[in-house]
Amino acid sequence: MNLDDQQRASGSLVHRPRHPLVAAAALFSPSARAAGAVVLERQGGQRVRRLISVARAAIRERRRPTRPRMRSVVLTRPGRLDWWDTPMPAVPGSGGAVVMPLAMATCDLDRPIGLGATPFPLPLHFGHECVAEVLAAGEAVRTVRPGDRVAVPFQISCGICPACRNRMTGNCRSVPPISMYGFGVAGGAWGGAFSERVAVPYADAMLVPLPAGVDPVAVASVADTLSDAYRHIGPYVERIRRHPEGPSIILFGAMRRGSIFGASVPLYAAQIARALVPEADVLVVEARADVREHAARLGVEACEPNALGRRHAPLVVDSSADPRGLAAALKATAPDGICSCAGTLHASVRIPAARIFGRNSTLTVARSHIRTVIPRVLDLVAAGRIRPESVTTTIASFEDAPKVLSNHLRGAATMTILIRAP
């Protein structure tokens, strides 16, 4: 009995991978063309040269291996994850480091990627969120040393370009746009977090030491989703406190029960909202019953999208990745309020410009500057103000990575974390 048959028999099969031809067709979709325009809008030559260099190095290693080998989880086709035997990375220059992931987390976007529902070419080294141990560092590295436990932001950033100096680390100007782990050639072929080793090109700029007493497993997702949740709440705390209608926050998750996107961002955001604005009313809007039940276990009110009615708030967060979610979020944004949207894979969506203008509300559609946010999130965890581990639904050994991650893709788990011994 194969994996799909086993999961159907147990009733745990929720999602099915796209047919490889359907997934391949997505590479020519409007969203793929839009994404391609972004990644090639600057430093296209640098991106191409890097991809050529990575490909040539891989070919040389296959013909005449010179480096020790390691295992990496690779998404080879929709729904199929395999161990690949790959060269162990060398320290990338005097300012770089090599780290060993200790706790690796899934992202809300990993299920769509893994099922072939995104415009990212395959194969790709899977995963982009981890906390790790530093194994080796270049001679110019000053802030970390071997043995340190660190958060590894999924975005590549140099720390010294004008964007990084102004805390806009998600758009570092030293590397091509959207350079990141876990997205294959679309992200610049930097490797994936579900690997035995990860190379970090700018160790001082990127790596964030864990505070004493913080469990790596609890904060495995700080490299992306946990920090992404913070950026929807943290910058707006004082503004919503001063709002004439009083502080309240609405967090939109899935608009339909069959959504393949994960639900960690709204659940993390609910915790962060209660920590930063304890006097606020917080509501999660979510079509999936299991996620609403999870919110209730966290002590957060939740309702189905059609039960929201005319309720509105000075801060509304849309992490649905669905045009219907953004439309509902904008409708629920109070006059002089803020709608913070985590983004969408759709090439375009309709925006009710007249309503936004008339209400004098603000819409932000953006990616996070993750490296900038990580220290603030770790401080909240270290102080015991948030418990990200309460959002985790599965913890398993890295040794079982392909099987566990395949179950995650096809199932309904919110957050899966793989761990390995230091």
The domain locations on the chain are: 3-222+394-419, 227-365
Q: Are 337 and 242 in contact (CB under 8 A)?
A: no
Which pLDDT does position 50 carry in this prediction? 87
What is the C-alpha separation between 160 and 181, in angstroms, rounded?
20
How long, in residues, is the chain? 422
The reported pLDDT for the residue numbered 64 is: 82
pTM value is 0.93
Query: Amino acid identity of 336?
Result: D
Among residues 223, 207, 229, the alpha carbon closest in space to that of 276 is found at 229
Of the pLDDT bands very low, low, confident and very high (cuts 50, 70, 90), residue 2 is very low
**Dihedral class, residue 127 (left if φ above 0, else alpha if ψ from -120 to 50, else beta):** left
Q: What is the pLDDT of residues 310-326, one digit of tens each?
A: 999 999 999 999 999 99
Strand-pairing partners, residue 333, are: 313
Lowest average pLDDT, out of 32-41, 197-206, 249-258, goes to 32-41
pLDDT in tens, 154-193: 999 999 999 999 999 999 999 999 999 999 999 999 999 9
Query: How many CB atoms sit inside 10 A of residue 396's CB?
Result: 16
- Range of weakest confidence among 130-144, 222-236, 339-353, 383-397: 339-353
Is 286's pLDDT higher than 80? yes
Question: What's the confidence (pLDDT) of residue 236?
Answer: 97
Q: Give the pLDDT of residue 78.
A: 96
pLDDT band at 13 (very low <50, low <70, confident <90, very high): low
What is the mean pLDDT of the segment spanning 338-364? 93
Architecture of domain 3-222+394-419: Alpha-Beta Complex (3.90)
For the domain covering 227-365, report its CATH number.
3.40.50.720
**What is the pLDDT, as a whole number, of residue 302?**
97
Of 91, 89, 135, which is closest to residue 420 (Cα–Cα)?
135
Spatial distance between the Cα atoms of 397 and 131, rounded to a whole number of angstroms: 15
CA 148 to chain centre: 23
pLDDT of residue 12: 53
Computed over every residue of the chain, the mean pLDDT equals: 93
Residues 342, 318 contacting (CB under 8 angstroms): yes
Q: What is the pLDDT of residue 124?
A: 95
Distance between CA atoms of 68 and 199, rounded to whole angstroms? 14
Helix (H, G, I), strand (E, B) or coil at 69: strand
Confidence of residue 60 (pLDDT cuts 50, 70, 90): confident
* 150 pLDDT above the threshold of 90: yes
- pLDDT-derived band of residue 66, with 50, 70 and 90 as boundaries? confident
